[in-house]
Amino acid sequence: MAKSKKENKKAVKKSQKTQTKKTLKKTAKKTSIKKAAKKIAATTRTLASAERTTLDTLYILDGSDNEVTLEVNAGAAGQASDMSIELDGSTVVDKLAGDFSETVLGTNKEMNRKRLRIVATIADLSRETNVTSLTVRLKGGPADTDFLLAKEVEQEGASVDYICLIRFFQPS
């Protein structure tokens, strides 16, 4: 009887050890998956917001010589857009129909404390959808970021105006 009790205890301890090992393995796997997901998230983050047409936010820089680029895409398919972009008061582009293709604004070092102003108006010309959208893509800093604004119009042919103000900031 005593022997079987000892044996039982051994068996239980053994299974507990095995269980702990298994749990540790599982946890390690989960953690590595989480880390991988975060890594992906760190390089491209989308700050999406339904029914939002204005933005006053910041984009973090790291003071390096890496180039910071800007791209602006209008939507949805078949809508008519017009936009102007200014950087620290200087015109980057004025009254541009359609998208603003990826353009270098400057290096991380040069862009610190600068202010980007994007204004756009989008008219609903599509007969398939009443959704309008504006996606602002900034790349080159520590994290690439997409800022998504969108609004659905209630009446056919209506317009939506967008104002985006972005501060470039290098933390000290």
Per CB under 8 A, the segment of 5-13, 20-28, 93-101, 104-112 that binds other proteins is: 93-101
Of 24 and 40, the one with the shorter C-beta distance to other proteins is: 40
* Residue 32 near other proteins by CB under 8 A: no
* Residue 112 near other proteins by CB under 8 A: no
DSSP string, 17-71: HHHHHHHHHHHHHHHHHHHHHHHHHHHEEEEE-TTB-EEEEEEE--SSSPEEEEE
Q: What span, in angstroms and rounded, lies between the C-alpha atoms of 123 and 160? A: 7
Cα dist from 92 to 106, 137, 156, whole Å: 12, 15, 32
Of 8 and 43, the one with the shorter C-beta distance to other proteins is: 43
Q: What span, in angstroms and rounded, lies between the C-alpha atoms of 68 and 58? A: 14
Q: Residue count at the site for other proteins (CB under 8 A)?
A: 59
* Residue 93 near other proteins by CB under 8 A: no
What values do phi and psi take at 131, rounded to 5?
A: -90, 135
Of 7 and 94, the one with the shorter C-beta distance to other proteins is: 94
Residues making contact with other proteins (CB under 8 A):
38-39, 41-43, 45, 47, 52-58, 60, 73-84, 86, 89, 94-95, 97-99, 115, 117, 119-125, 127, 142-143, 155-159, 161, 163, 165, 167, 169-172
